[in-house]
Chain A
């Protein structure tokens, strides 16, 4: 009985199956090819950056570059101040930007009346489309003078200015992804919480946000990637001094700014040192994504 059925089902559409198999294979390869574009790009970029940057590491030494505090090409290539500046500006942007973004997402998904949500959402989406040079210019003419007045310092081109601009820049990414993941939650979660007597706000903070955690983390990680990789706006507002910053009210240069500012003219070991700055940046982003993957993986178990 069993065998008869299998032979029957196999025999009947044999020709059609073969033809379909061929089409299946073509599409399978097409999908695979598309998926490989991203992987190949990353691999090529990594190979290229390492290939160009390794001579600097060989000549100056890994510790001289990573822990060196003076950037004086062609003699000294210390990028420690820039590593610190990149980390602090990104961290600051996350501390200011993420709470604002999550609360906005909750507001849009749960609390806002429809007409207001329809006003806020396009505004947030528009924020994502503004080129970074415009953010930089906005920072240079609005935020920088504001910091000068508020803190009575001679120059407002500081890490703080960079943090504020970056915090605004990561808003749309975090808001959009957090809102989507909040909306994707089954309505039973909220209904159950309300039925148990929890208030609306209580259920948002204790039920909905924890349930949408994984999506919110993804939003934050994309936001962090945008903040650490941002270049143009940062060059315009952070002052770019390659010295170790002593406080948030001092100018500093990020890793990306260092590459962008000097690449056009640099030659020889100087250019190689800029690529090694890129290696450090690449390693940071890999570490960031790896730790996020690990965190999500651990939580899901």
Chain B
């Protein structure tokens, strides 16, 4: 599969100079950012006739690509560590995405502290009455180990521990595992004692998002920093990057670009 994708990409690269006089802006990295980036790229292409090539390879790979210069722009859906980049790499936050901690509509609990949520996911708090609810066991729902949402949630909630010198998840292994935002939603919507985390854009009437440390999740509270379970969508560029890439980023941060970000269900930064 990877070979096929590589081959197609290579053929694409070979063919593009024939059809396009200008060089393409190459973007690669986080699969979460890819969704909104593809829409931005296509719109930009229609506006300026400038080709934008977007590849979803994962945040770590995107950061590395920007550092090595294999892509003009790298995408990351988590905070970038200083050790990952060189001094001449610029980080630009283009949007924010909230992770909502959701419970069933019938559950009376409406506010949890960050500490309580972390303890629930570690398996230390097992009953709703320990966090102000009725005397029923908590059904913990998480995402599969490879999910980007789970990665960001674990980073923010500090749900990591070390085994054999490698960082692994500290989420209790008896937690139910949902394969995608939609499945976590279905489980939580149907089970009065379930708790699960999903992308804020996916929350609807079938379940409710709890306030965390008193702040309800919304564009406002995330932008102000009151709601803390949020992750940035970061673009990385080298200072001496092709001016075309800088122009594209200016467009993303402009009113038109930010409108697209908002329409895709993410939180604008400008």
Q: Tell me the A residues contacting B by CB distance below 8 Å.
A: 70-76, 140-141, 144-145, 148, 154-157, 235-236, 239-243, 250-251, 253, 260-262, 264-267, 270
Contact = CB atoms under 8 A, between A and B. Distances in A.
B164 A240 contact: no
Interface stretch (B10-18, B35-43, B145-153, B198-206): B145-153
B176 A155 contact: yes
A154 B139 CA distance: 7
Q: How many of chain B's residues touch chain A, expressed as a range?
A: 20 to 34
Contact of B139 (A73, A155, A235): A155
A240 B175 CA distance: 8
B176 A264 contact: no
A76 B164 contact: yes
Given A75-B168, A239-B177, A240-B177, A264 B193 contact: no
B144 to A, nearest CB: 4
Contact of A265 (B146, B173, B177, B193): B146
A75 B190 contact: no
A267 B137 CA distance: 35
Contact of B193 (A154, A242, A260, A267): A154
Given A76-B164, A76-B168, A240-B179, A70 B173 contact: yes
Most chain B Cβ neighbours within 10 Å, of A72, A144, A156, A266: A72
B168 to A, nearest CB: 4
Interface in B190-215: 190-191, 193-194
A141 B190 contact: yes
22 contacts: A72-B169, A74-B166, A75-B165, A75-B166, A140-B190, A148-B191, A154-B136, A154-B193, A235-B183, A239-B176, A240-B177, A240-B179, A241-B175, A242-B173, A243-B172, A243-B173, A243-B174, A251-B176, A261-B146, A261-B179, A262-B144, A265-B144
B147 to A, nearest CB: 7
B179 A76 contact: no
Interface string B108-150: 0000000000000000000000000000111100001111100
A243 B140 CA distance: 13
B191 A154 contact: yes
A261 B144 CA distance: 6
A120 B95 CA distance: 57
Contacts of B169: 72
A157 B144 contact: no
A253 to B, nearest CB: 7
Most chain B Cβ neighbours within 10 Å, of A148, A260, A265, A267: A265
B187 interface: yes
B128 to A, nearest CB: 10
B250 to A, nearest CB: 32
Most chain A Cβ neighbours within 10 Å, of B31, B173, B174, B177: B177
Contacts of B31: 265
B66 to A, nearest CB: 19
B146 A266 contact: yes
B168 A241 contact: no
B49 interface: no
Contacts of B146: 73, 261-262, 264-266, 270
B166 A241 contact: no
A73 to B, nearest CB: 6
Nearest to A274: B146
Given A74-B168, A75-B163, A243-B173, A157 B58 contact: no
Contact of B179 (A70, A155, A235, A251): A235
B176 A75 contact: no
A157 B144 CA distance: 16
B176 A240 contact: yes
A74 B151 CA distance: 13
Given A72-B163, A154-B136, A262 B176 contact: no
Nearest to A157: B176
Contacts of B176: 155, 157, 239-241, 251
Most chain A Cβ neighbours within 10 Å, of B136, B137, B144, B165: B144
Contacts of B186: 140
Most chain B Cβ neighbours within 10 Å, of A70, A74, A75, A145: A75
Interface string B228-251: 000000000000000000000000
A260 B183 CA distance: 14
A73 B168 contact: yes
Given A155-B176, A266-B146, A72 B168 contact: yes
B173 to A, nearest CB: 4
A149 to B, nearest CB: 12
Most chain B Cβ neighbours within 10 Å, of A144, A240, A243, A250: A240
B145 A73 contact: yes
Nearest to A74: B166
Given A154-B137, A265-B146, A75 B164 contact: yes
Nearest to B165: A75
A265 B58 contact: yes
Nearest to A158: B176
